[in-house]
Amino acid sequence: MSMLSNLAPIPELFVSYDSAQKLKLEAGNLKRHDLTRRQICDLELLMNGGFNPLKGFLGQADYEGVVENMRLADGTLWPMPITLDVSETFAERIEIGEDIALRDEEGVILATMTVTDKWVPDKSNEAAKVFGADDLAHPSVNYLHHTAEKVYLGGPVTGIQQPTHYDFRARRNTPNELRAMFRKLGWRRIVAFQTRNPLHRAHQELTFRAAREAQANLLIHPVVGMTKPGDVDHFTRVRCYEAVLDKYPAATTALSLLNLAMRMGGPREAIWHGLIRKNHGCTHFIVGRDHAGPGKNSQGENFYGPYDAQELFHKHEAEIGVELVPFKHMVYVQERAQYEPADEIEDGATVLNISGTELRRRLAEGLEIPEWFSFPEVVRELRRTRPARSKQGFTVFFTGLSGSGKSTIANALMIKLMEMGGRPVTLLDGDIVRKHLSSELGFSKEHRDINIKRIGYVASEITKNGGIALCAPIAPYTATRRAVREMIEDYGAFIEIHVATSLEECERRDRKGLYKLAREGKIEEFTGISDPYETPESPELRVDTETNDVDTCAHQILLKLESMGLLTA
């Protein structure tokens, strides 16, 4: 009997060990591009065959085909643009036909790429077509406009070595390693379960059912590359997966980690996940409600309908080459003490359910999480990483015009917090940071952005280690404030305080004489005079120093922190 196609080896982009050693020496003389975290994830799956049939980062014709109709130039189904974005200055130095070296964050050369294409993409069109809307509330659209560079390079990749992972090495498998394992175990039908969250009892029940319905073995295949900002970190999640693995039959279940950078692209993402799982040797794939959905858009509605992903997947099922296992919304029926699909439950039954938001609230407030909902082992891991909010670090980020009173309120708040005790408090005031962290920076837009991001980085480290960071820069730009929020919310709460003092009042106070100099044209790009201040649309709190004194403002913030559960009475 010939080998089943899902178990036969698939092509990789690596050269042999000897060629790699030679290539590495030669690559030392090439122009070098330092890859971002997302690009490293993409490159790894290009090289190991996870993105088969792609042979490298997309050229312009393939990119346009993927954006417009989910197909490469030759008509092959592929829903997600895999692009190498580089800065304009780097792109200017590159000629078409030239080889470049692709390096990881530590300077190790992972691959070379022959540049066949170089173009400036229409990112608004990419956002609208790929993610359904050019809306910055979508994390990938925000990434496209504010993190990704301006120019795309395309071309085939020659793999020299895999990126190094120091964590969970035994759980990381390339597509060919999984295929070899399935061959060895005699598995023929394999259903993959994609997840970026810890597994609770409902997930266990639905994976059991999916494997039973498909009469297949189960591959739990969580994403550990990049997920949505604010998700539980992958170290905690993998410890949770390992804690529940013994609840599954060992002979029919495997756990493997996928180093994918998710795009939260809903229906298109579901097809992409299906193609990736096919490359990893799977025959079936579970697609859930709102698969890979990023949550709410700017209007407060979901980006995608709950079953859009299942419908689009179903339409392309034959071409993907993996069977869809639609997963139902599972809820706990109290009378029968078990999980059942929500749409199969008779009227009058007592249904219990805890949403993701409710779970986060219970963890944050240190409340009980019932055993019918999750496993004690999982809850224990989550509590270790996410203690109750009153024990977590957090950042209070003041923004407002020069002279609005940010530093004064921040100082008053610092003293009140130190009086209460419990956590170390650090004030990162604009002037102090300029002196110690950013003395070499000027006041151009670019330099001001770098300064704010440095403040954000320090605040995120303070927050991660359980302290309180008070930041008081001007921070005039929405995009930079959002980048800082994302940096910090990985570790704790971010409370944006808009000190809404009017320009007229700030100019009247003019403590440092800066407005006078700006009006005389002696200071260029001065916020509020010759450079815009983008007012925060929905800060956690707005305070007004024109009608309230400093003490009242600081007290309002304390009350806000208390209401958020960050301070205990």
| Residues carrying an active site annotation | 195-197
Position 565: which residue type?
G
Distance CA 413, CA 496 (A): 14
Angle, CA 384 vertex, CA 378 and CA 389 arms, to 5°? 110
Please state, in angstroms and rounded to a whole number, the distance separating the CA atoms of residues 26 and 349: 69
**End-to-end Cα separation, the chain, in angstroms:** 71
Task: List the beta bridge partners of residue 493.
Answer: 394
Using CA atoms, how far apart are residues 159 and 163, in angstroms rounded to an integer?
A: 10
- For tokens 């301070």, what's the residue? 567
| Helix, strand, or coil (residue 159) | strand
**Ordered alpha helix ranges (H), 338-375:** 356-364
Structure tokens at 122: 């229409």
HSE value, Cβ hemisphere, 13 Å, CA-based, for 416? 20
Q: Work out the number of other CB atoms within 10 angstroms of the CB of residue 77.
A: 18
At 46, is the secondary structure helix, strand, or coil?
Answer: helix
Cα–Cα distances in angstroms (integers) from residue 252 to residues 48, 190, 207, 211, 490, in the given order: 25, 9, 12, 9, 35
Provide DSSP, 91-106. HHTPPTT-EEEEE-TT
Q: CA–CA separation, 237 vs 10, rounded Å? A: 29
CA dihedral 90, 88, 460, 498 (to 10 degrees): 160
Query: What's 390-430 look like in SS3?
Result: HHCCEEEEEECCCCCCHHHHHHHHHHHHHHHCCCCEEEEEH
User: CA 159 to CA 136: how far, in whole Å?
Assistant: 34
Closest to 59 measured CA to CA, from 182, 159, 186, 154 = 154
Neighbouring CB atoms inside 10 A of 546's CB total 12
Strand partners, 427: 470
In angstroms, the CA 428 to CA 467 distance is: 13
Contact 265, 131 (CB under 8 A): yes
How much is the CA Rg of the chain, to the nearest whole Å? 26
Are 141 and 134 in contact by the 8 Å Cβ rule? The answer is yes
> Burial level of 344, CB count in 10 A (0-12/13-18/19+)?
exposed
Q: Which helix (H) or strand (E) holds 307?
A: none
Beta strands in 162-283 (DSSP E): 190-193, 217-220, 253-255
**Residue 532 identity:** P
Q: Are strands 394-399 and 468-472 parallel, antiparallel or unpaired?
A: parallel
